[in-house]
Each structure stands twice: as C-alpha cells, then as structure tokens.
Structure 1
C-alpha cells in the first residue's frame, strides 16, 4: 500500500526532536516523537512498521540500553543512533550491538533523509518477508496469490512449478510492481528446499561495506553471514543491479566454489535498470551467465487483459472490508478505461488505485477515471496498450459483472438472475463461457 512508513524519533531535547520530525515529515515520512526511551518502548514493539532514530545520551535509559532492548525484541528493526562530538567509539559499539547506522552532531539533514530512506526500504523488505514466511506452510498458498487466468499468468505459474524443482540459480526480471518478490518466495515454497531457510537481502538498502559484512562476514555484531545462514536453502538477492563490482566478484567465487548441484540456491531479482540497458550490460558477464541460466520474466499488467478487472475487484473488495464500506461498482466505461490504461507501476499501481477508489466511494465522490488520469500525470508519459476489438471489452466487462454479482450473493443463482435480469439458461451459458462455477462462490 501507499502509506508512508513511520519514523520514531527519541530524544530528550525538545528542539532536536522537533527539528528532526519536521525535516523528515517534509521528506514524506510519518513521524512520531518520544521524550524518553521508556515512553518509546510503550509505542514500539516487534514488527513495528517503521524505523527508529534515537539519541545516545539521554537521562534515565540511555540510547545504548534502549538499543539493546529493541534488538532483543526485534533484531531486524533498523535503529539510527545520533551521537555527540567525540562519541564515535560509542557509536561503533552501537553498530556492534545492532544499530543500522549512526549520525554525528551536527549532521547534514539530507544525510538523515538518505539514511531514513534506506532504513525504511530495508524495514519494509523485512516485514514483507515475515508476512510471506507465515504463509509458507505449503507452496499452494503462494501460488493462489498469483491471481489471473491470462496466458501470461498461466505461463508464469508453470515456470514457477518447473523451475521450483530445479537446483540451478534463477534470475527474476520484469518491470517494477510486477510481483517479483512474491515469485521468488513461490519458487522456494514449491521446491525441495521449502523446509529450509529462505533469506532475503536488498543490495540497494546497505552501503558496500555493510552489504559485504552481511553477505560474507565478518560482521561487527558476530552474526552469521547470510551465505552461511542460508546453507541448504535459498538466498534471495533483491536489487541485484545495485550489487557493487567488488561484491559481484565475491559472489561469483562463492557460486563457483559450491559445485553442482549448489548447496545454497541463489535467486537474484532485478528491480530496475535503464531502458537502454539490460541486466547483462550491468552485471559482469560471468556472473550474469551463472545467475541467468534460468530466467523468469514477470509479465507487465498491461499484457494481462481481463486479469486487470479480476485484480481490481479482489483488491477493492479487500479494502472495502478493511474500511467498513462498500466497494465501488465499476461501469462499462470504467472497465474499458482500466483495461486500456498503460499501468507503468503495474500491480503495485493497481493496488493504490483500488484503495483510493474505495476511499472515494466511501465519501461519495470521484471516479476511477479521475484516479487514472491523476496517476498518468504523476508518472509522466508511459507505454500505451494496443487497441482491442469492442467485443473483447464487452466480454471482459460481462464476466466481471457476473463474477461480482455471484460473489455478492454468495452463489445464489436466483438472486443473480433477478439482479441481472437474465433467464437461467442464459446465465448458465455465460458462466460456462467464462469459466465461472457456482461452487466457487458458495
């Protein structure tokens, strides 16, 4: 979702608290402030949806004691420590304990923003991985999340099932927002390593030295390097395009030393590269060919046809339940607009549109068309979809309408016939045509 992650600011000096809060708020963060570590602990728990910025020197519980409490509660919580002049040895000790990074007063506000952005990116990835791990009882759970009946999605699910059984390393490519991380988890969950560890690290969320320590060691806090911790399982490298050249060489050595089949499987995810460059241009050739022996490309949303309407319906229904209101009813014109939109942000953009459509509907104002127009203006020129015959738009809308009505009436054929003014035979023929079965709604 589009909600900003929180930044908890802990400092006994009111002016410092306020200035950090104002600066980060202007940078788009959702801030909350605490005058003491004791107060902060009342509002920060395990799985806190954000990061912490804390002064080291505070009365009562100082920053080091506070950091240790946070690490014992949630070792994956990024904590940025603020130190006074001359407190660098203390900051180094904080890094050993588990701090994400530190800033020495007086610090550059832009540096604070940069650190906060990297820390929230790392935190979001950690929380996403935790949520997904809870659903890894069997691979079918994740496969069901890959919604869609389009040929592109059928091929994607087939590729996951085939490559999931293999031992070779896998490269996942595709536009932003196409669900590449979900595909990586599914690859692990449907294969023989499903009961082993699945560890993820973003190559873009850490500095070169920090990433080297996390991947290969030695780490200042004594934690096990990820290449060792993932032994026998899967190590997923997000943002592989951001992997520094020096670490590309070390990763290649690690892969070559494993032999065949590899003890640890590498899944590399490319999240962004320039339009005039391929990943082969970005990574060193020998590493690219080792990682790209098996490749999955996640299809863009604009190529998935009526999946767009299916996804929009499911998402808007979910948000409507969350906000305690009705989901918006999509008109034929709006269905066509959804199908024709370029979707540069893919599924992630569709999630945002669905949520905002529900909120608009709750207020009784706005339209899906206005949301799409605003998104296109914000993202700038994008690829456009090809025109389709009117018959395809009509059929997509008709299928969505029957599907929505069946869901609303929990499979009651009589209620659906009455609402849509269809005789039973016509309804049965259309449900058969679109692959809709009553038992799926009961």
Structure 2
C-alpha cells in the first residue's frame, strides 16, 4: 500500500463471535493503518452504529443470535450507503450473493488473503467518505442560510445579487442565469431553490450540452427506456428543474420545452432555472434561443458579476481561500504586499472565482516551498504578461482602499494585534488607525 492509498485512521467495526478471528482481523487492519473496533456480537456492534458512522463494517455471516444477514438488513435500514463486508464459509457463497443484492459492499470467502481484505477495506472507507461528503454537500445546498453565506462579498454588485436571489427565490416564475464562466451560476441556482418555498422539494439538474438529442429528449420528457425511471420534468415536479447550458438546446427541444412551460400554466408545478454558459462575443443566449422561449425563461434574469468588477471582494476572497489552503497544507498563510494587492485587483480574471481559487492554492504551495510570488503566478496564469492588466480600469479610490486594507491586515497579523506596534510601523495616530480598521471591517480580536 502506498502512502497516498493509506487510510487516515478510518474506523472499521470487526464483528465475529470467534475471539481469535476477531483479534487476527483487528491486528492486521491496525497494522494497515485502520482503526479497528472489535465486537463479539451483532447486537453489541449495533450500539456503535449511527447514520453518519464514518467508516465500514466487516462481519462474519454465521454467528449465534443475530447473524450477519440479519445484521446487514438492520444496517441497511440505518444507512443504506454504509459499506458492509461479509466473511463467508465455502457453503455460504450463495447467501453472500444474496447479501450483495440486499446492499452489501462485498464478501470475503474463508480462508481469505489479508491483503485482499485490506484492499476491500480501503475501497469501502473511500466509498464511505465520498458518500458522507456528498450527503453533507446536499444538506448544505438545501440549507438556504448556509448557501447564502457562501455568496460572500461586500461589493455593491454582490449585495444586490443576494437581494435579488432572496426576492426571486420567493417568486414562482422561471429564471435565467447568465454570467461568465466561474462566477458561480450553479451555486446561485441552488440558492434560488434553497431560499424559496420549494426548498423541501427536488432540485434536479441536467446539462443540455454534449448529449445526443434523442437521449436528452427522452431524459427530459420521456419515455426513459434505459432505466424505466421518470423523465426529469416529472422527477422535478413541485421543485426545480435546472437546465445547464440551455443555449445548447436544439430548436426541436426548445419547442418541446416551450410547450411544457405553456401547458403548466401558473403557478408552475415545476420551476425552470436555466443557466447560460456560452459567452462567444458574437452570440448571446438571446441569439441562441427562440424569442418566445427566451422571454418565458427570462421573466426573471440574473447576470452574475465578473470577479474583476467586484472591487475589494477580490482581496477578501483571495485571503479566505489562501487561509483555507494554508490550513489544509499545514503552513502559514502568505502575507500579501501592496504590490500583490495591486496585481490581484488589476488582473482580468477570465476564469473568475474558479481561477482565483486555483491561484490561491498555487500561492500557498509556493509560499510553503519558500519561492515564488502571487505576481509571478498571476502573470503565468495568463497567456502573456500584457494580458494580466485589465482594460476596464478601476477608480483610484479602489486601489488606495485595497492597499490600505492589505497593509493594515498584514501588519496586524505580523504584530499579533499589537495596536502600538502597528501605529509605529505605519506612522498612524491611534484614532486614524481605529477609523480605518472600522472602515475595512478589521477587528483587533481577530489577530490576538
């Protein structure tokens, strides 16, 4: 097992009524980097299992009292995504196959290779971690307050965007979301659903890009022959159907979508949130959609601001992501100079927030190695040095405020919140420093 494959003390419940087998499995798992917890009976193990148990289960099938099959059914009732590995005798293989049908992760036939058990355990805990992560993400996306907090920024355009989301979320009409790549359009679609009366209903998303027209038509409107499931317009009934890359819909599918919208009437049983991701300079979403469909979808329209138009939000976002990556990589967050701040503010950010996150991670990694600077990284991220300067320009006031905030912030960090030391270094009287800290939302308590 390589270091990258080695589990990070993942918990595994080992259940076997035979003490020697229980101890042997636990010892091997412990040597392999897991955190085994041995139990002599299914009843005892059940007391340690919760719906969010962060690990896997390895259990013998044949045990007195509750056997492995009965335990599997109980565990699937607690959490159907919990990985359960069954240990079987030679004659129990048909039973193990039935257990797989009921939801078991896999089975081991005695005598088994310990390395195979380790590999199964590693795959099980990895699957479990992914399932719990996806569950947490779904819960977060369903929580209106949580997702609105992710739409950070104090710039006027972001303040207006949050207000519009709250207003449109309570309304019932369809929404069209436009904006450059990387501006967070999908997150805004989730937010519209999460803050409105449909929050408890389904949010169903599908990309209209890169899929065969016939297959996409069947997925949207039915019949769904491959799986026998409901078409997406029915699956999302009462909730929200999010159409990513709506500009890629063929004329025929646009006509069917318009018919569906018209037949729903008002209020709509299924709300459509359409996202446009095409930003060719000579083609807008209004050009790509038939006029009657465009006006039905754009009765409420949100155009997300590009990062370069968000002023000091750029610095706040960059520092937030840099601190997150620094914590992840176990190193201090890099201090930014006024020159770094100027470069961040002037960069065109064609990839917007997605690009900023990537740059923040690179800066932290370079800082950890003691080399590189944000300036060189931003320059390298653009095709040429000249492209690193936006042609749109910003008021001098924005640059000055960004410099002031960055200088005060980094100086406060360096002096661990010592007001006297900051006053001396920046040659500022106490009253002026206090006023500027209040203006930029900086508090001494954050640095002490």
Alignment partners' CA distance in 2, 1:70 and 1:195: 31
Match of 1:295 in 2: 301
1:244 matched to 2:250? The reply is yes
1:172 matched to 2:180? The reply is no
The residue matched to 2:177 in structure 1 has which SS? Answer: strand
Alignment partners' CA distance in 1, 2:336 and 2:151: 23
CA contact (8 A) 1:342 1:383 kept: yes
**RMSD over equivalenced CA pairs, Å:** 3.5
The residue matched to 1:392 in structure 2 has which SS? Answer: helix
Give ranges in structure 2 of 5+ residues lacking alignment: 1-80, 83-96, 106-130
The change in CA–CA distance for 1:441 and 1:160 in structure 2 (over 3 A counts) is farther
Alignment partners' CA distance in 2, 1:361 and 1:320: 9
Match of 2:42 in 1: none
Alignment partners' CA distance in 2, 1:215 and 1:71: 30
1:184 matched to 2:189? The reply is yes
TM-score normalised by L of structure 1:
0.66
The change in CA–CA distance for 1:391 and 1:296 in structure 2 (over 3 A counts) is closer
The change in CA–CA distance for 1:411 and 1:250 in structure 2 (over 3 A counts) is farther
Match of 2:259 in 1: 253
CA contact (8 A) 1:316 1:354 kept: yes
Alignment partners' CA distance in 2, 1:306 and 1:352: 19
Alignment partners' CA distance in 2, 1:412 and 1:141: 34
Between Structure 1 and Structure 2, whose CA radius of gyration is higher? Answer: 2
Match of 2:390 in 1: 384
Alignment partners' CA distance in 2, 1:181 and 1:173: 10
Match of 1:143 in 2: 148
**More displaced 10-residue stretch of structure 1: 390-399 or 248-257:** 390-399
1:215 matched to 2:215? The reply is no
**More displaced 10-residue stretch of structure 1: 148-157 or 131-140:** 131-140
Match of 2:269 in 1: 263
Match of 1:433 in 2: 439
1:274 matched to 2:280? The reply is yes
**More displaced 10-residue stretch of structure 1: 229-238 or 396-405:** 396-405
CA contact (8 A) 1:241 1:273 kept: no
Structure 1 residue 384 displacement after superposition: 2.1
1:350 matched to 2:349? The reply is no
Alignment partners' CA distance in 2, 1:70 and 1:343: 50
The residue matched to 1:134 in structure 2 has which SS? Answer: helix
The residue matched to 2:355 in structure 1 has which SS? Answer: helix
Alignment partners' CA distance in 1, 2:202 and 2:164: 22
How many correspondences in the alignment?
330
The residue matched to 2:382 in structure 1 has which SS? Answer: helix
Alignment partners' CA distance in 1, 2:444 and 2:339: 27
TM-score normalised by L of structure 2:
0.66
Give ranges in structure 1 of 5+ residues lacking alignment: 1-45, 48-64, 75-125
Match of 1:155 in 2: 160
1:312 matched to 2:318? The reply is yes
Structure 1 residues 25-424: aligned runs within 5 Å: 132-136=137-141, 138-219=143-224, 220-377=226-383, 384-388=390-394, 390-403=396-409, 424=430
The change in CA–CA distance for 1:181 and 1:383 in structure 2 (over 3 A counts) is farther
- CA deviation vs aligned residue, 1:388-421 (integer Å, no higher than 9, x gap): 4545323212223434566788877678668867
The change in CA–CA distance for 1:418 and 1:266 in structure 2 (over 3 A counts) is farther
